[in-house]
Structure 1
Amino acid sequence: MTRDGGELSGFHIGYLPAEVGEQVSDFATEWEDVRFATRVWERQVEDGYRVDLRVHVLRGDRLTDLGAVRDFLADYHERDTATWELAGFAHPDGPALAGDTEAFWLVEPGVAVEVLADPQAADPTTLRAIAENVTRTPDEAGQGRGGAGGSRGGSRRPRERGQRWALLGRPHGPVIAKT
């Protein structure tokens, strides 16, 4: 069974596999002058909660091309660009890169989207299917960098170096208190 992920900051998340948890949280954050609207799907497990999927809509002047997006995300996730294995793919909104657990693309200068998945919830083929079905809503077309709407809550605080949110023991994003 598949389901729809709703709208987030001017984008429609059109496909979620059944393996993605039912608990959903939205956050609005900012790091290094880039604003994030984030939706997280998680499930309760024996030891707490496991994050299955995250979608980030990023907005900022430094996101000028796909290389700039890759460099920003490498810094944000504390990845080495020399060893980060990514392959190009064609997203309906623009040029894209994907690895085994993440996919991202430049929608237009100043706007990018990133999808991160737990491999237990989505294999690389499913990850790309999720990513390819994250598309601009009709209202987003022409809105560009200005529209940050769509977040239903969360907190807005800058990420400090060293703060973590672990996804399968790897660093993937900030620790943000849910409010």
Structure 2
Amino acid sequence: MGVLAGLLAVLLVGAVHLPVPGGPWPGRGGGELSGFTIGFVPAGAGGDRADFATEWGGVDFASRVWEGAAPGGGYRVGLKVNVLRGPGLTDLAALRAFLADYHEIDPGTWDLDPFEHGTSPGCHGGGRAFWLEEPGLAVSLWLDPRRFGEPDLLTTAHEIRRKP
């Protein structure tokens, strides 16, 4: 087999496993978190997983964090998923304002792009994605942008689904 044919075979085999938003993914799942199934965790996000429950600004957080050993020692978070519940999360604008305050980001300079999570409106950019599942219920996630790109972020987001 020539080099070009071998490369083509590798590309075609790899293409069989490309994720499709809303479709099946043969990779590692992240289990269930507060009524949602995390269907995909990117390889390299970290092998250690921890759950937390917190409250901030009148919003309850159910959080799951993946971390792993960092080069040079210590640990580094690769992925964090939050399920947020609170009466102030009335629409996407309110969710965005809440998250800007929570993450101490200037809302005027927070560069985000819109996306749809099923029928739910959302935003993504800079390693963060979030959407309003319904008034009072939202999901946000952070995927380390030093190691993962926006396609990884959106694949991970689309594979987080509310349990029926």
Please give the TM-score of this superposition, normalised by the length of structure 1.
0.75
Separation in 2 of the partners of 1:102 and 1:40?
A: 14
Q: 1:75 aligns with which of 96, 101, 113?
A: 101
Does 2:28 correspond to 1:28? Answer: no
Residue in structure 2 matched with residue 115 of structure 1 by the alignment: 141
Residue in structure 2 matched with residue 100 of structure 1 by the alignment: 126
CA shift, 1:93, in A, is 4.9
Alpha-carbon spacing, 1:70–1:131, altered in 2? closer, same or farther (3 Å): same
Cα deviations across residues 72-127 of structure 1 (Å, max 9, x unaligned)? Answer: 00000001011000000111150010002100000000000001010244211110
Gaps of 5+ in 2: 1-25
Structure with greater Cα Rg: 2
Check the 8 A contact 1:93/1:106 in 2, yes or no: no
CA shift, 1:135, in A, is 0.6
Separation in 2 of the partners of 1:103 and 1:34?
A: 18
Runs of 4 or more consecutive aligned structure 1 residues displaced over 2 Å after TM superposition: none
Cα deviations across residues 8-30 of structure 1 (Å, max 9, x unaligned)? Answer: 00000001111211100000000
Separation in 1 of the partners of 2:119 and 2:36?
A: 11
Separation in 1 of the partners of 2:44 and 2:77?
A: 11
Residue in structure 1 matched with residue 62 of structure 2 by the alignment: 37
Cα deviations across residues 25-76 of structure 1 (Å, max 9, x unaligned)? Answer: 0000000110000000000123311000000000000000000000000000
Residue in structure 1 matched with residue 6 of structure 2 by the alignment: none
Separation in 2 of the partners of 1:63 and 1:134?
A: 19
> How many equivalent residue pairs?
138
Separation in 1 of the partners of 2:147 and 2:47?
A: 12
CA RMSD of superposed structures (Å)? 1.2
Alpha-carbon spacing, 1:98–1:122, altered in 2? closer, same or farther (3 Å): same
Identity over aligned residues, as a percent?
52
Higher helix share: 2
